[in-house]
Amino acid sequence: QQPVQSPQAVILREGEDAVINCSSSKALYSVHWYRQKHGEAPVFLMILLKGGEQKGHDKISASFNEKKQQSSLYLTASQLSYSGTYFCGTEIYIGRNTDKLIFGTGTRLQVFP
Chain residues binding another protein by CB under 8 A are 1-2, 29-30, 32, 34, 40-44, 47, 49, 87, 89, 91, 97-106
| Closest CB 56 distance from another protein, rounded Å | 15
Q: Which of 90, 97, 94 is nearest to 73 (CA)?
A: 90
| Closest CB 104 distance from another protein, rounded Å | 6
* Residue pair 86/75 in contact by the 8 Å Cβ criterion: no
Q: Which of 16, 21, 4 is nearest to 82 (CA)?
A: 16
Q: Which is nearer to another protein, 95 or 99 (CB)?
A: 99
